[in-house]
A and B are shown apart, each in its own frame.
Chain A
Amino acid sequence: MRFFRQVWVVTVKDLRAELRTKEAINSSLAFALVILLMFSFAFDPLADTTREISGGLLWIVFAFAGTLVLNRSFARELPNDCLDGLIAAPISGSALFLGKACANFLLVMAVQLVSLPVFGVFYSVPWTKQFPELLLVLVLGTWGLTVVGTVSSALTVNIRLRELMLPMLTYPIMFPALLGAMELTADLVTGSPIGADKAGFLKMMIGFDVIYTAVSLLLVETILVG
């Protein structure tokens, strides 16, 4: 129980610090909207063919915008050597990691839930029809992105080209989950339910989340302390 209380303390701390400055969430949201617009120029948003692939486009937007939030995750601990304070505290590395991951998850979900209606308007898709399933896919995909991204944030915190390295580390690992999310979202956003042939993707996304959460919790101490 103490573990979850510590996770909560870290999550609240991250959220409070972020909401006070709103740096990451503002830039992430702006970036998402800009990319959505750019895609509308690249692919005719009113054509039927575009509507079919729009679910895939949506996840590219989410992945890129999410990286801006994830980059801040451990980077916010650099000024004043705050990371030292957290590592010295009597909380396990996993509690620290999970707390940050939860905060990141909430922030990225917030950006996504704001971008979704905008996307729906731009592409005229009935995204509310399968909303519970869509939300499920969003949650699963975002949690995977968050976990891998938070680990990458921890790995790259002291590296010179951090902003470049974090996406390069995160996206290849995310391939299966992103592909699954894109396939499922492409259907759900146009109002059709998940077909039997695509149900495997859902199971794979759950598996991805479980595996990578477990591995991250096990290995994060090695990353933080060496």
Chain B
Amino acid sequence: MREKALYLIGVLAVVLMAYNLAEIAAQPSEALFYIPLAGVAGLAAVTALVAGIAFLRTRNFQFDALAVAATEVGLAFLAAGIVCGCFLTHAEGGRWWSWDARLTAALVCWLLYATYLMLRHAVQEPSQRAAFAAVWSVFAFLDVPLVVATIAWWKPAAGMRMDWTPSRLLNLLALAMVGTLLTVVRMRQEEARRELDSLRRVTHAI
């Protein structure tokens, strides 16, 4: 049943993106994608934060699985967004990186959440890893507005415009659906990994 729901979401996402096909053909497609991609990354960050706090309150490992899944998906989408942005920059001016305020802020935020994953990899014990990760996702999330504001001041000419046209919003919805799909798949994998880990400990104990 759950699989069928996931497939449905995937199909809907493709349909929505196909709806934009005409516009994609007309103008540089990167422009249609890179802001929605960043938008999905933002949603992923919020999800990770809420999941982390929920873990700290309930100690339910499903929330931890959600937190890591959302962060990984968010990082992937943000990386894609930054790459799209690079292509757009190249198309517009010839350089691959122009220190555009939005792209720079996106890169810093990407690094921020990459440290979250590094921290997770470095802590072996699962409960401690989940607790530390939850704490760190709070730190990272609070930094995002500070990063955006500071970089906006640093490069005041460029500014932090996020133009949301209807087609971009549609893409946002479609990409959010794809993101949700990937998050659920990743969560399943995380739960399987946890079960394996506990089985391994049981065999060692015997």
Contacts and interface: CB of A to CB of B under 8 A. Distances in A.
Given A212-B139, A226-B127, A204 B150 contact: yes
Nearest to A218: B138
Nearest to A179: B150
A155 B136 contact: yes
Interface residues of A, number: 31
B205 to A, nearest CB: 21
B185 interface: no
Interface of B is mostly: helix
Give the interface centre of A172, A177, A179, A222 by most chain B CB atoms within 10 Å: A172
A180 interface: yes
A208 B114 CA distance: 21
Nearest to A173: B143
A169 B115 contact: yes
Q: How large is the interface on B (under 10, 10 to 19, 20 to 34, 35 or more residues)?
A: 20 to 34
Contacts of A168: 115, 118
B56 A222 contact: yes
B15 interface: no
B128 interface: yes
Interface string A174-212: 011101100100000000000001001100100110011
B149 A169 contact: no
Sorted from nearest, which 10 A-B pairs have the closest CB atoms? A176-B150, A176-B146, A172-B112, A172-B111, A159-B122, A219-B135, A179-B150, A200-B153, A175-B108, A169-B115
Interface of B: 56, 108, 111-112, 114-115, 118-119, 122-123, 127-128, 131-132, 134-136, 138-140, 142-143, 146-147, 149-151, 153-154, 156
Interface of A: 148, 151, 155-156, 159-161, 165, 168-169, 172-173, 175-177, 179-180, 183, 197, 200-201, 204, 207-208, 211-212, 215, 219, 222-223, 226
